[in-house]
Structure 1
Amino acid sequence: MRERATLGALGADGEYHTRRRTDLTSASGEKVGELSLVSPLYVRRTMAALRQASVPRTSDRFAMLEKAADLYLNGIVAGLGADAYARLVSVASGVPLAFVRSSATGVAQALRALRHTAGLAMPRGAVAEWDDLRTAEGAAVWTRKGEVFAVHASGNTPAVHSLWLEALALGYKVAVRPSTREPFTAFRLVSALRAAGFGNDTVALLPCDHATADVIIAEADFAMVYGGQDVIDKYAGDPRVLPQGPGRSKVLVTKDVDWHEKIGLIADAVSFLGGTACVCTTSVLVEGDPAPVAEALAERLSRIPTLPAEDPSAILAVQPRDQADRIDQYLRNVAGGTRAWLGGDRIVDELPQGGAVLRPAVHEVHSSDAPQLNVELPFPCVWVGPWAPEDGTAPLKDSLVVTAMTQDRQLVENLLQEPSIANVYLGDHPTTWMRPGVPHDGYLGEFLMRTKSMIR
């Protein structure tokens, strides 16, 4: 029998179960739990409590974050051990079990690393504490721009929760609105943080509907919001909100590099986390004929087996059948005018126990400005197209990551100077490469902190 979980909100007075709840279901439609949904009034009261709460000392914060890492990764939290938690996340989200476990390990590593990484965004000329000896002669002090930080989390993988933890390390009080698709990670993480010593009025979990979610942002000083292009557009004019939208991560291979040696690396980056992450490679641009690259990628990706998400060998994500059909139809519409090397007929592979696996797709586009190169879908879908030196960086704009497989130093310089490219990796570092302390899309501290001059 599968584990079930009835999750409440985690407010300033502890766990709170409401009459209004939403069912949590697996990809096959099986109910795996319930989630309480809070009202705007409850949100306002909780956010007011967070605003009034005192901030734990810096050394205490780091010690509590490290303790929370062990509780989250290995402990029994809200009655669930680590294995039961991972399986529940896999069943609810459709993310392969192996990726759930590796993502959870990544969250724990991020927690443990914060003692060393939280201050990396601080300018070299600044000090972390006002009573530092250097302020006696005058110095810049690294200070918060606000008190309360809100997070609208996605349910892609547990890994999304590794980013907002920096706010706690910096002394912010944090309110998390979890995904209604996969709230288990947010609940487990907030519970672990509280068990490690953070007060109920320091970190909160506020599950709610979309209208109430806007109240959370309105009551916070700053917020980080996950979503699609619609979310990016909605908050584009709000300097208090840091949107986390589509990654549109790309690979560029120039003619001075043998692409044959890179196919395995690129294919793995396309299928990483079942193709659900913003760092997954969604487009490959090739100097020369893109067809052989598309063919080789299709052959490599076609080998991935169709398996239930809970299978330890699973790589591909599972979706409810109706949602998988909608994605399949959207792909068919958007891929018009391209050449399908894989997934041209259908990408939906039904599972006997319910739900459907989204099989990989590889399409060749005919120009470096094809609109498909900026289409990102929640499964291993990659567009392969031509690139020429005269195209420059234009086809690579608006990318979270660009992996440049090239020997052209000027091209690398141009990619680094392009404002709409967040990260540039070279050679055999795939778009999915990550490490604590190396920013995902800039340091969160750049958004939440500022310097103030002080002399005493």
Structure 2
Amino acid sequence: MSTGPSPSGELLALPLLTHRGTHSTRAREIVHGVDGRPLASLSLSPDLLISQSVLAQGRASPLAPEERAQRLLEASRRFLEDDLGGISFARHLTHVNQVSGHNAPLTEQLSRAVAAAIAEAPARADRARPNGSLRSWEEAAEGGGSGVWTRRGETLAAVLSGNAPTIQSGWLQALALGYRVAVRPSRREPFTAHRVVLALRAAGFPDTSVTCLPTTHEGASTLLRRADLGFVYGGEDVAAKYGASPTIKVGGPGRSKTLVAHDRLTPETLDSIAHSVTALSGSACVNTTAVLVEGDHERFAHDLAALLRERAADRQTTDHHLGPRVPSRSADTLIGHLERTASHARPAIPLEEIATPHPDGGVVLGPAVFTLTDPHDRLMATELPFPCVWVAPWTKADGIAPLRDSLVINAITRDADLINTLLHDPSVKNVHVNAPTVHSDGNLPHEDYTGDFLMRNKAVVSF
């Protein structure tokens, strides 16, 4: 079986990585770059194979914790240094760049962050463990006993989106905790998950420890039903379908916002918000998509638009483009959506400047800035997969109502009461104080610590 394009242009073959090794199926899907060119042939897993794999994984025993940690370190090195599936890391970056739409430097930055997530998975997972809980029953003190951190199940299904390579971080922590993981990669960007699983196997993890099973939406539902627990990522439709399940953790949507107090309208604030809008190609759930301004919001939007246009200038047709590069048809759909739904918003950047054709194919999107007159406008909850931000006025009389149901709020204010109110509102997942919404070091909880969902505490007493 070919694992990479031949000189004649043969497509890269991405087989299933099952509980019994690699397997190719007749059901396949072609992975295209944003320029429309075919890049890879992706095998799709049938439901029966999904069921068989998850069943076998549930019956398998996990490696010992120390061995898992050691092999994760080795896998991190192999991810960066080895030819895996016949593909070098440099060639892997090319493939990811061609399908993800991120610029070349960001693709490499995020892919190297994946290697860090592999190596640091045990430590990151352990940050969720309560102070009063131990890792194993052998550590439980005699007499009084202790809480012991234990898995809620044995198998985890990870149904991934293709927003960024670092979407792998959550399931890697599950692997570090002893779960056997079945990964359903994004069919738009399957390369990262495939390479991670190959690196883990090259480092000595058994095939039953982690599988890579690309499949259809129906197959993904089967995977989530068969595993003890599941991760799934998506928008409102995914949240509506799985949000009420106690065994499935839903990632997304984001709706991250920034609030600026009247005394913090400074050039430094403007620079920070511009970064929050455009970092990660503006396509992540932590990107600021709405700004509430206590003061002259029209002036602020004008200044923000000027700064973003300056940052995008002379970049959009290069390998360092600011926004994401997407297929032309996707760009037309998004611009058409804006024209239909945002007709009452005032564009601070002309709509005709939002889409820039790229010489290598596809279209680079953004930046876009719109002003609204009402902080409660429904558009304040609209997030699009490119640097697009809505700016509205805010006063203390508006309270936190316009800020609810957000993944991250950056409160650029000295108002301690407001910060406390945001912190205790259950609909606000994370609160930053004068820190960009995109800030993360890998150790901060995203939508809770991953371990909060994966683990529970049991009392263990030994006399």
TM over 0.5: yes
Matched, 1:12 2:34: no
Q: 1:442 aligns with which of 440, 443, 448?
A: 448
Deviations along 1:381-427, one digit per CA (max 9) or x if unpaired, are 00001111111111111111111110111111111011111111111
**Matched residue SS, 1:239:** coil
- What is the number of equivalent residue pairs in this alignment? 454
Question: What's the offset of the Cα at 1:308?
Answer: 7.0
Matched, 1:72 2:79: yes
The answer for the alignment partner of 2:266 in structure 1 is: 259
- TM-score (normalizing by structure 1): 0.96
Q: Distance between the aligned counterparts of 2:32 and 2:315, measured in 1? A: 19
Structure 1 gap ranges (5+):
none
Q: Distance between the aligned counterparts of 2:18 and 2:108, measured in 1? A: 28
Q: Is the 2:140–2:146 contact (alpha carbons within 8 Å) kept by the matching residues of 1? A: no
Structure 2 gap ranges (5+):
1-6
Deviations along 1:288-321, one digit per CA (max 9) or x if unpaired, are 1201110111111112046578x54222211111
Matched, 1:430 2:431: no
Q: Distance between the aligned counterparts of 1:3 and 1:362, measured in 2? A: 43
Deviations along 1:76-124, one digit per CA (max 9) or x if unpaired, are 2111111111111010121211111111122222222233222111111
**Matched residue SS, 1:242:** strand
The answer for the alignment partner of 1:451 in structure 2 is: 457
**Matched residue SS, 1:149:** strand
Q: Distance between the aligned counterparts of 2:55 and 2:233, measured in 1? A: 24
1:51-450 maps to which residues of 2 (within 5 A)? 51-303=58-310, 304-305=312-313, 311-345=318-352, 347-427=354-434, 429-450=435-456
Q: Distance between the aligned counterparts of 2:316 and 2:36, measured in 1? A: 14
Q: Is the 1:253–1:259 contact (alpha carbons within 8 Å) kept by the matching residues of 2? A: no
CA RMSD of the aligned region, Å? 1.6
Bigger Cα displacement from structure 2, 77-86 vs 143-152: 77-86
Deviations along 1:340-372, one digit per CA (max 9) or x if unpaired, are 101434522222332111121100011110111
The answer for the alignment partner of 2:3 in structure 1 is: none
Q: What is the letter of the counterpart of residue 360 of structure 1?
A: P
Bigger Cα displacement from structure 2, 3-12 vs 155-164: 3-12
**Matched residue SS, 2:36:** coil
Deviations along 1:228-259, one digit per CA (max 9) or x if unpaired, are 11001111221111111221111110112133
